[in-house]
Chains A and B, each alone.
Chain A
Amino acid sequence: MDEAFLWSAEVLAAQGRLPEGVSIEEITWLKRLRQGLDKTRRSLVNQLRAIVGQGPLNQAGVTEIESLLLQADVGIDATDYIIEALQARLRQEALPPSEAIAYLKQILRDMLDKPLGDSHSLSFVPEKDMLNIWLITGVNGAGKTTTIGKIAHIAQKSGYRCLIAAADTFRAAAVQQVKVWGERSNVEVIANPGKNTDPAAVVFDAIIAAQARHAELLLVDTAGRLQNKKNLMDELSKIRRIIDKKAPGAIVESLLVLDSTLGQNGLRQAEVFSEVAKLSGVVLTKLDGTAKGGIALAVVQQLGLPIRFIGAGEGIEDLRPFSSYEFVEALLSG
């Protein structure tokens, strides 16, 4: 039995899950999440023990943790905040590395879970028997279209009537790409055959189609845009307005797709998209790589946006609900 398997099993056990209730997919999934971790690296606890020996966590140990957070793209401000919270506790009582880390994990999980309030529900699902519209936005190449393909697949499998709006009318072969994803899960894609058409018009058509067909979930794929492009952000706010106006009764979720390899610019992205697209959550992609996606901590803390899904692969099944527990374990195990 390999190390990754053991790690996955431990993570699940710590969540209070019994072995018989765990599916092989879940283990596979967790293994993938951990895939990026350098196997030769010692666990954080061992690393710290090597520094402090048998004694309590000292300044050198804290500095080690700080480096780890910075290398995970948590960013200076958020790292300062976390380290300060940890130090505050250490000033009260001396803690051995294992306890200090347990406390650190708690700080991180609390940060991530805060936007969810008291409802620690891990499932984020569309409402049945009514129209849900999920607007998917983000910078270029973040993984929006792929995420739509994956969501469409689960939705279809779970028995939702689903529809996709191909509102990236700009990028070369963007419509073909989303159509392939539609075919894979047997979900119809609404597109405008014309070239460089107004994306808001496509969204409009898709809403009409969704209403006519009593669709329950309409996924809107948008073109990638950098948040400092005023015209493109205006275009996005127009799309959002059309949705609010033409589907007043629908439940709208506005999800920002963040690439976990992103550095500090991710926070700026979240700030601007939040305003323009009225974001309600975040999807963190490409977590199957070695990048830790630490910027998500700053995004959650600064903007109060919950992370809804994570993407860990290019396959249709590689989408999972976000769990702060798993995320923090993966973040600190590098």
Chain B
Amino acid sequence: MSRGFSTIGVGHPRIDAIEKVTGKARYAADFSLPGMLYGKIKRSPHAHARVLSIDAEKALALEGVKAVLTPWDVPRVLHTGAPAPRLGSLRADQLVLTDVARFVGDGVAAVAATTEEIAEAALDLIEVQYEILPAVFTVEEARRPGAPLIHGTEGNLVMPPIIVQAGDVEAGFAEADLVLEATYHTGRPSHCYMEPNACLCYFDESGTLTIWASTQCAFMVRGILSEVLGLPLHKVRVVVKHMGGGFGAKQDLYQHEFVCALLARRTGRPVKMVYSRKEVFMATKTRHPVSITLKQGVKRDGTITARQALYVSNTGGYASHGPGITAVGTIDMTSLYRCNENWRLEGRSVYTNAPIAGAFRGYGAVQSFFALDVQMDELAEMVGMNPLDFRLKNAVGEGDPSPSGHRLRADALAACLRRGAEEVRWHERWQPPEVKTGRVRWGLGIGTEMHSSGAYPDIKEQSNAILKMNEDGTVQLLTGAADLGTGAHTVLAQIAAEELGMPLANIRVVSGDTDMVPFDIGAYASRTTYVAGSAVQRAAAELRQRLLALAGEKLGCEATTLEIRDGEIRRQGQVLLSVAELVRGEGGRPAVALMAQATYEAKVAYSFAAHFAEVEVDTETGMVRVTKVVAVHEIGKAINPLGVEGQIEGGIQQGIGHSLTEDLVLDPETGAPLNAGFVDYKMPLAPDMPEIRVIILEEAPDPDSPFGAKGVGEDPIMAIGPAIANAVYNATGVRFRELPITPDKLLARLREQGETDTA
């Protein structure tokens, strides 16, 4: 692609930035309707309990209370919490209101009242009789013989184990000079999006339900509401205005969306529900805590000969994305580093009575790559190689298999490693832990990752776009793709502008109303630029062709000799006519309607990254401070480099939190979260942030994507965790096979290692 770009490849502030920073942008909870009621959910205080009876008499007697729903008043349709992807492996195991609570906070009843305060007071008046059942919170407890069965499945397994194998693992281990087997554990971070889950529901005169929601997957919400409420799809309208984050958790539906619609139906009035921060923490989603037992063989020359792993995820009270993340986490261990194509990988997902774990930026692979990349460091040391050289030797590249089964097209991972090593002056500055002394010790570590743009082949990826030309030369871009705060809509507008040859300001993105925009499967799997962007590019290309054909007719020349740039029709650089002049109506006749639509069903591309983290560890306290991160990402083409940097910096910040301070801690007796609020669930803030140097590589543009672009949304959070853990090892010689690395644990490990207390 030799022609110079005008709109893409240049940093653009988000098209919705002004609305948002001036506080004018409206989110789901900002909408209200006359006569609106407020809904609230009564939640189980027990992690596992059967609801014997519910007495709502006192609540209904309270002035202002309009309806109470119990599990016996709502459709008893088992449904999946995770409407997308619609895979066979999903389990329909949730009810709108449950008569068996499976985690602390499971909703057992609901109320609608004229004010939020009355609704809350009514919750206290609903009397629930429970039979308390034995509860389990860890995989070990849940797998023990005689453990309570949470959904009646054998051994509390969510689905049959996923087994992925190739080559001959035993032969591979036999060939190895050294074999290492170890178990790695990851924590339970919460998504912590700013906008709490919220919705407003209302049925109009025609019996059509409109729901203003905060969701990444409006069409999936429509589908599952239609299924559970028994409404045809054309009588459900989902509207999403702005979103204040989701990070994967808003791929799922929650009880409030169903309950709110049912309360609206029962009362004949609009009903709004907004989760409190505590509800968001206890009753939405977390990342899956995963344990990975990983065994690899290596030859003295640094060749990895075989890989075997058992990946076990704790999905909590309901399956949600347990099957999906387990499949991805398991399959992703076939790649990133070569192992002579000898692997045997098994994935299991286990029900417990912990809070539900769901989709979360990095989707199962965060956990795998943490294990893999920490073990890469361990193996390098075993064979006496520098950790950088050992990675370069084994990094997957052109011709190697990827998790989707496709062969990779370029040596992108090695390129990221080399560029980062140069930036941090690796060979000059890296030294083994043995030489580190002093109270505060400096360390340098590497983490790497690869991530697919889109979820093909597991999901039939599909996006659509419609472009409508207006008679003044401006354009409406209709897309079903959500912008959950990532800047996706800015990128889609840029793609349309570039392809059309129009200024960015002439494009307006219309989205988030399932009655108006064409189908899109949703925003997940770093797919929006890659898949929805392709649909936009194709629709724009078609619209451009129509414009040129019209211009050719008008100017009496071959359309192929014309081009559009900056909103003007040109021939050999000479401006002949503006697009606005071309499309406006004439002589009292309305303009010709120009519209283009495209459907795109994507395959897959892979982005890669290497992060180099520098840390300082205070050996007296076990406190880790990340001081600098060099993040090298190969993403094909940065449509909006400003947005790409934002994604990378944000991912690093979130990843630092998950590595050091963030963990939803459960009371081991009751299973209730001990820190369901920002007072003691601690995310890193500005003063905790390191210097970040983002380096974008465009070495391996994808031939099927818009201008070669690949995804970047999830990538940054995947490489930072192992980079920090490896840097902590490099500083102290303490090997962490678990996250988060708290000062508590690090200090204890330093003491075990023989560092003495000082004061």
Q: Do A and B bind each other?
A: no
| Interface positions of A (Cβ within 8 A of B) | none
